Amino acid sequence: MRIKKTLFPLIAATSLFYACSDNSSPTAISDGIAETTSVTTYTCADGTETENASDCNASGGVVDSTTKTIFVCSNGTKTSNADDCSTTAAGNSGTSAVPASGQEVIEQVVTEAVVYQEAEGDLKLVFSATGLSVENDDNSCVTVDNEKKIATIKCAGNYYLSGSSSDFQVVVAANIEAKVYLYFNGLNLTSKSEAPIYVQSAEKVFFMLVDGTDNKLADASTRTTIWKYTKNAESKADTTNATLYAKDDITFKGNGTLTITGNYNNGIQSSNDVRFKDVPTIKVTAKNNAIKGKGSVNIEGGYYTLTATSGDGIKSDEGEDEGSIAQGKGIIVITGGEFTINAGDDGIQSYNYTLFADSVSTPKVTVNSKGKGIVSDNYLYVNAGIVNVTSTDDGVHSNMNIYFNGGETTISSGDDGIHADSTLRIKAGSIKITKANEGIEAFYIRAEGGYTSVVASDDAWNAAGGSADGSTASGSQWNGGMGMGGMQSSSKGYIIISGGYHYLYAAGNDIDVLDANGSITQTGGVVILEMGNGNSQGGMMKGPGGQGGSGGCSGGTGGIIDTDESYTFSGGILLGFGTMNETIPTGGNCTSMSFSAGQTIGASNAAFTTSVSGSVVVYAGVNSVSTVSSSGMSSVTLANGMTYYYK
């Protein structure tokens, strides 16, 4: 078989070469990003930093982590700044992106765009109603079993697949060092008893969606074959578990369309890594998971419509069975693309971590899920992107830590809007929770920046630890029963606010707007709290204090602010509006005053136009509060569109 390299359409690229004054060899200037990856650095309890989280086990575990995107430029250099890939020369001393003294441009090479196209002599698999024809197979790389309806590809190289068949299967069974390129060029393939595409062995298989073509795959609703094969001198048995099923790494490229119908279980599945590059259009409807890369799923662009009837939209779970993190595995990285995900369980689910970043383009993700929206067993990073989640369970959830470093996130949830069992850290970006039971819940809530808004029917922010199961001792929010006597939470939790603009609203029975089962510390930032009507807590006390239920600035009944320990205030602005309050911040105050929705309440340096009526205002960072005019004051638009005024 004649091996032919076929290139994906490239934007015309220019490479510049310079002659150096020291007569050293010319150096190619990078003309763009060739590769994108992410590196997570973990901070251990003893202060050391490592890229392997398990290194922290001996020193008390992980206390923090930071993920950054690394760009590999076309000239081979690595950088954390994408702009460097278009401005930085590498290799020789004395070279630069702009010719310096002693340099001159000696060559300019323009690489023209090359498109996928079949050429005379290419190896082709053409499917039809009468069977399969193979053209130009000089090296006998394809064997065809017409009785079993199986075509087996055994060699590395390029294969163009086209035509239509209602019952055929393509199996890739090459050696473990083989790279196989399958060009889908108007392919419509169904198997009545199997997966139409089965990658049994290869180093990597690339699915190239030829520009302008529509391609379709559908599998059977049952499986009758147990596959037996030898890999790495070990005998293995396997049952294909997806419409496009792979045991090795697979990559999707091109500008064509691929529609997959998973009647048996999953739509796209690999035991290793799944990667999507360029701008394909992928449509998957599956009985269980739409896309599953056990090792990882990396998506850099394209358009995705994913429907998982009973499973997850996108899933990566390596390490879950072992209960341990494997470096670079069990991860989902989305650095571009537009997604509509409808899931019977979780929208996006990973074991190690999920990362949203705009290294390639700005991801746009819409999730509608009957389970959780976006969930990870360990870490979740939102560094960029426009993310919209509607979920029956938690909107965004991690069994460990969540980090918001940018992007625009909107959540409507049937349970918690955002839940982290350990730390939620908000450094930048916009978070808008339009509906939730508890808006934000974590053991540590660290608000360092960004814009957040929450509308909740229970606590808007709740710092709490322990099990989420209220029927257990560790999960119960209360010590003992329903009697009087200053009951406190059985768990702990801490809120630290140092920056950003945060709006919290809660309305319902037995609610707190801002609640910590430990303490709250505020050193900066702007916090606006609003308690809606319907907060009838009866005689129950949620923290230390007096007899509850009557409202006002004290009484131990929670309401606007409730802590089991204290609220220490030393900077920023706090304005809280409602009918009852439990904790008054150190350095702040609480006053009884009647106000109506639509009135602007505050002082000359900070004010807010309320959406509720009430009789209690709690405040800090201002000397006193009253009805004021916002005329002449500057303004900040909060995440929900409301306005904070300041001078």
Token match 């091996």: residue? 3
- Non-local CB neighbours of 184 within 8 Å, separated by 6+ positions: 161, 207, 208, 209, 210, 213, 215, 254, 256, 258
200: exposed, middle or buried (C-beta count within 10 Å: 0-12, 13-18, 19+)?
buried
Residue 435 has pLDDT above 70, yes or no: yes
Cα angle value 339/342/343 (rounded, 5°) = 125
Conformational region of residue 116, where left means phi above 0, alpha means psi within -120 to 50, and beta covers everything else: beta
Mean pLDDT in residue range 528-544:
58
- Whether the predicted pLDDT of 294 surpasses 80: yes
CB 327 within 8 A of CB 351: no
Lowest mean pLDDT among 23-27, 123-127, 366-370, 558-562: 23-27
How do strand 353-356 and strand 331-334 relate by DSSP bridges? parallel
Which helix (H) or strand (E) element contains residue 385? none
The residue out of 83, 111, 139 marking a domain boundary is 111
Residue 393 scores a pLDDT above 50:
yes
Which helix (H) or strand (E) is 345 found in, with range? none
Q: Are 165 and 132 in contact (CB under 8 A)?
A: yes
Beta-bridge partner residues of 540: none
Q: Say what the alpha-carbon torsion angle 574, 577, 579, 582 is, to the nearest 10 degrees.
A: -10
241 bridge partner residues: none
- Quick: pLDDT tens for 486-531: 345 567 999 999 999 999 999 988 899 999 999 999 999 999 999 9
Domain boundary among 92, 111, 130: 111
Domain boundary residue, one of 111, 132, 155:
111
Mean pLDDT calculated for residue range 216-230: 89
Confidence of residue 83 (pLDDT cuts 50, 70, 90): low
- Give the C-alpha separation, 411 to 369, whole Å: 12
175: in domain: no
Is the pLDDT reported for residue 82 higher than 80? no
pLDDT in tens, 437-472: 999 999 999 999 999 999 999 999 999 985 444 443
**Structural domain contains residue 227:** no
Residue-wise pLDDT for 543-589, tens only, equals 332 223 456 887 656 899 999 999 999 999 999 999 999 999 999 99
In a domain, 612, yes or no: yes
* Domain assignment present for 234: no
Q: Identify the top-confidence range among 101-105, 166-170, 473-477.
A: 166-170
492 within domain boundaries: yes
Residues of the chain above pLDDT 70, percent: 75
DSSP assignment of 588-626? EEEEEEEE-TT-EEE-SSEEEE-SS-EEEEEEESSS--E
How far apart are alpha carbons 89 and 381 in whole angstroms? 32
- What whole-number distance in Å separates Cα of residue 79 and Cα of residue 69? 9
pLDDT of residue 476 exceeding 70: no
| pLDDT over 70 at 260, yes or no | yes
- Using the predicted structure, report yes or no on whether residue 371 has a pLDDT greater than 90: yes
- DSSP lists the bridge partners of residue 507 as none
Q: Is residue 610 part of a domain?
A: yes
Q: Specify the residue for token string 């049994």.
A: 200
What pLDDT is stored for residue 152 in this prediction? 97
Answer yes or no: is 132 within a domain: no
Residue 495, token pair as written in the block: 């809120």
Tens-place pLDDT, residues 179-214: 999 999 999 999 999 999 999 999 999 999 999 999
Q: What is the DSSP string of 151-200?
A: EEE-SSEEEEEEEEESS-EEEEE--TT-EEEEEEEEEEEE-SSS-SEEEE
pLDDT given for residue 325 in this prediction: 86
What single-letter amino acid sits at 542?
K
Q: DSSP string spanning 103-130?
A: -EEEEEEEEPP------TT--EEEEETT
Confirm whether 218 is domain-assigned. Answer: no
pLDDT at 504: 98
Q: Which residues contact 64 (CB under 8 A, 6 or more apart)?
A: 42, 43, 423
Q: What angle do CA 205, 211, 214 make, to 5 degrees?
A: 85
- Residue 568 to residue 463: CA distance in whole angstroms: 15
State the pLDDT confidence band at 485, using cuts at 50, 70 and 90: very low
Q: How far is CA 622 from CA 64, 308, 418, 502, in A?
A: 34, 52, 30, 17
Residue 95 has a pLDDT of 30
Q: What is the pLDDT of residue 443?
A: 97
The pTM (predicted TM-score) of the whole model is: 0.79
Determine which of 140-154, 220-234, 355-369, 534-548 has the lowest per-residue pLDDT on average. 534-548
Give the structural domain span for 587.
Answer: 431-647
Give the number of domains in the chain: 2
Measured distance CA(378)–CA(37) in Å, rounded: 19
Rounded to an integer, the average pLDDT of 145-163 is 95
Average pLDDT over residues 62-70: 61
**252: its two tokens:** 């999707």
Q: What's the pLDDT tens digit per position in 10-64?
A: 333 333 333 333 444 333 444 455 555 666 776 665 556 777 766 766 655 555 6
Q: What is the pLDDT of residue 62?
A: 59
Q: What's at 297, amino acid-wise?
A: V
Residue 431 has pLDDT above 80, yes or no: yes
Instruction: Round the CA-based radius of gyration of the chain to a whole number and report it.
Output: 29
3-state secondary structure of 203: coil
